[in-house]
Amino acid sequence: MEYVLETQSLCKRYKQFTALSELDMHVPKGSIYGFVGRNGAGKTTLIRLICGLQVPTSGVYTLWGVKNNEKGITNMRRRMGAVVETPSIYLDMTAKENLQQQCRVLGLPDEKYIGDVLSLIGLSDTGKKKARNFSLGMRQRLGIGIALIGEPDFLVLDEPINGLDPQGIIEIRELILRLNREKQITVLISSHILDELSRLATHYGIIDGGRMVKEFSAEELERACRKCTRVEVTDTRILARVLDRMQLSYQIIDDRTADIYASPTVSVLSAALQKENCELYSVKERDESLESYYVSLVGEAKKAQ
């Protein structure tokens, strides 16, 4: 798999405080990577590092295979756009002037991009209104618009829906999906609003205490979160034989526990197991979401520590 961003044992310390610790991360090309973690987990620190705002204490990261300590990293950054924490916009300028500024920073002809970007972010009709008078959602969209100048291949968005109203959240979500699908832009989104993230992301990375707890794809999450029935039996080998005969998909958790991705009739299953001298102890319905998956992963990580 080709990765846009990879980190290897990335660390960042501020005096006594360790913000990132041996972080390994892989953002596949073309993905929408949901970077999940509670406040203070290290999401923004990682974003600051990859944007060149800060330097790692140790470890490396690569952008399109170029390491952060190599000369070519600045050229790779030109393929990036980012909104870190708050949108970086001149408040006493209009939306158009803000985009013109970024065009100049990148040495691009103004007119080529500005009209397209303004309509893409839905700010074409803001005229002479200064960014100071924009709503939070408009500012957020303008921030994304600035990040889009120069047609980046990789967009980094730090908490893009924080503080937005429901309409603003929908607009940002649709914009991100459009950019990913129509322009094939790889997107890294950090957020702790898991429900919203699960509507967008194709890949996830869960960070806690500056460490990567787990990386997984949306398919893996779907498998993990599929509606299932958790059963407890005396022997899961017998259960597996029975379920194979019943043509039901399942996953063995341990010697006594298994998840069945269906809702079998309990009496039928119990009778079938009984025939093979296997007792059915309990049956529970499970309906896992990204949120519960996150909680269980972080909980396991805490126990492991």
Partner 1 sequence: MIKLLSANFMRLWKDKLFWIGMVFMFGLGIVIPISQYFDAKQYFFEHHFDETMMAFIFFIGFIAAVFCSNFIGTEYSDGTIRNKLIVGRRRTEIYLSSVITTAAAAVCMMAAYFLSYSVLGLILLLPPKMGIGKLLLMILIGITSMIALISVFHMVSMLVTKRSAAIIICVVLFLVLWMIAFSVYNRLSAPESIASYVIMSDSGEPVMQDMLNPKYLQPNERVWYQLVQDFLPTGQHVALTNPELMVHPVQMLVYSAVICILTTVLSIVFFQKKNLK
Residue numbers at the binding site for partner 1 (CB under 8 A): 14, 48, 51-55, 73-78, 80-82, 84-93, 97, 100-102, 104-107, 146-147, 150
- Burial tier of 258 (Cβ tally within 10 Å: 0-12, 13-18, 19+): buried
Output the smallest distance, CB 211 to partner 1, in A: 21
Q: How far is the CB of 85 from partner 1 (least distance, A)?
A: 7
Least Å from the CB of residue 285 to partner 1: 46
Nearer to partner 1, 51 or 193 (CB): 51
The whole-angstrom separation of Cα 190 and Cα 5 is: 14
Q: How far is the CB of 55 from partner 1 (least distance, A)?
A: 8
**Cβ proximity to partner 1, 12 vs 173, nearer residue:** 12
Nearer to partner 1, 109 or 166 (CB): 109
- For 156, the 3-state DSSP assignment is strand
Task: Give, for 11, the enclosing helix (H) or strand (E).
Answer: strand 3-14
Strand order in the sheet with 3-14: 17-28, 3-14, 58-63, 66-67
Residue with Cβ nearer partner 1 (144 or 225): 144
Nearer to partner 1 by C-beta: 90 or 261? 90
We find the least distance from the C-beta atom of residue 184 to partner 1, in angstroms, to be: 19
DSSP string, 164-232: --HHHHHHHHHHHHHHHHHS--EEEEEES-HHHHTTT-SEEEEEETTEEEEEEEHHHHHHHHS-EEEEE
